Amino acid sequence: MIYITGDTHAQFNRFSTKNFPEQKNMTRDDYVIICGDFGGIWDYILSSSTETYWLNWLAEKSFTLLFVDGNHENFDRLKEFPVVSYHGGKAHRIRDNIYHLMRGYVFEFEGKKFFTFGGAQSHDIQDGILDIKNYESLTDLVHDYNKRTKKGEMLRINHISWWANELPEKYEMKRGIENLKKVNFEVDYVISHCLPQDVCSAAGYRSADKLTMYFNSLILDHKLKFHRWYCGHYHREQAIFGKFIIKYENIERIL
């Protein structure tokens, strides 16, 4: 069995037995996929007791939890987890049953091909990215941040609540093309955090970035074939053109 859901932002109550009773019949050979903004690796520098509690709680689940990264992940810490070969691609192993599916790989689960490519551009940084290098201390930075956000400014802090890695490097996009070539640009599912730009525009999201345009090129230039494209990011449940499925809090079985 394979289930899919949207952003969790470290709020994992949807996976309680009460909210997700289907897990009673699942094993580690069954999967739940989160379409980005997992948020379970978020704390600054070291994992807090709360973060560790929830990761351990998830590690006790009967199923295997998979996620692509969103824009709200601590990329500095995420990359410190061991990279392993996993179901035909590469993944960070967070726990024995928790894996981050890295960008640009084609994985195989239950005989189906999944192309994964996380990341997205943040939409809550209109008033800037603060950097500790510009302050005498972390205390000063936090004081300025709190003062300005109370006024309604939309800010993030570099390497604390925002990372440039939210958008891909050229080598990741190249890797995606190379791995898709190996399967003749034909997969069963695409798992991402954001959508191709033309689909974004149809849904009312006009702002383009290099990732949404990259996804556009996969479809328009490389004629990528797929059954369904699942993403998170937009905090809604919506199907666009029948094939692009935005997930949020609902957990949907796809296989």
Q: What is the pLDDT along the chain (255 residues), one digit of tens a residue?
A: 999 999 999 999 999 999 999 999 999 999 999 999 999 999 988 899 999 999 999 999 999 999 999 999 999 999 999 999 999 999 999 999 999 999 999 999 999 999 999 999 998 899 999 999 999 998 999 999 999 999 999 999 999 999 999 999 999 999 999 999 999 999 999 999 999 999 999 988 878 999 999 999 999 999 999 999 999 999 999 999 999 999 999 999 999
* pLDDT, position 162: 97
* Residue appearing with tokens 């190996």: 182
Count of beta carbons in the 10 Å neighbourhood of residue 170: 8
Q: What are phi and psi of 210, to 5 degrees?
A: -65, -25
* pLDDT, position 45: 86
Q: State the alpha helices, DSSP H only, in 86-231.
A: 138-150, 170-182, 197-202, 210-220
* pLDDT, position 31: 98
Break the chain down into helix, strand, coil percent, rounded to 5: 30, 25, 45
Q: Is 186 exposed, middle or buried (0-12, 13-18, 19+ CB in 10 A)?
A: middle
Strands 105-109 and 112-117: antiparallel
* pLDDT, position 212: 98
